[in-house]
Amino acid sequence: MNKIRKTPEQWRAQLSPEAYYVTREHGTERPYSGQYWNSTTPGIYRCVGCHTPLFASDTKFDAGCGWPSYFDAINPDNVREEVDTSHGMVRTEILCNVCDAHLGHVFPDGPPPTGLRYCINSVALTFEPESDLS
């Protein structure tokens, strides 16, 4: 896997200010504010930084948390887990394994078959509708 490395200035030129804050500074968008939290359109969710495919709409579910939630990644090699001890708690952070973008967190309270809830910031994603995939 070829890693994508850019300077902060290059990332700022490519990303919106909010996407930069979330993906490069490990920020979080407000719940229910992102464009994909309640989307049900079939397709693929990709990393906003490098367009790596991360999640498919058929693994998306309504977790009631205000962020897009998925029970599985398209390819486990495309995401990386790291321990996050910020904000006085221990969580599992999810990053794009290609460009190191902060995506969100994963929790062990999701539905079958994985029991996982990948809670992802909308601004860290781009969406490719199924109709564009053919």
pLDDT, tens digit, 9 for 90 and up, residues 23-54: 999 999 999 999 999 999 999 999 999 999 99
Does residue 133 contact residue 44 with C-beta atoms inside 8 Å? yes
- Mean predicted lDDT score pLDDT of the chain: 95
Bond prior to 8 in cis (omega within 30° of 0) = no
> Which tokens go with 18?
């909010």
Q: Is the C-alpha dihedral spanning 69, 85, 123, 64 positive or negative? A: positive
Reported pTM = 0.93
Write down all domains in the chain, each with its CATH number in brackets. 8-128 (2.170.150.20)
Work out the pLDDT band at 133, boundaries 50, 70, 90. low
Q: What is the pLDDT of residue 132?
A: 74
Tokens 């490098």 found at: 50
Work out the pLDDT band at 114, boundaries 50, 70, 90. very high
Q: What is the pLDDT of residue 122?
A: 97
What does residue 61 show for φ and ψ, rounded to 5 degrees? -145, 160
Give bridge partners of residue 129 from the DSSP assignment.
43
Q: Which of 67, 129, 63 lies closest to 103, judged by CA?
A: 67
Q: What is the pLDDT of residue 129?
A: 94
Q: Is the C-alpha dihedral spanning 79, 80, 81, 84 positive or negative? A: negative
DSSP reduced 3-state for 16:
coil
Catalytic residues: 119
What pairing do the DSSP bridges indicate for beta strands 69-70 and 53-56?
Answer: unpaired
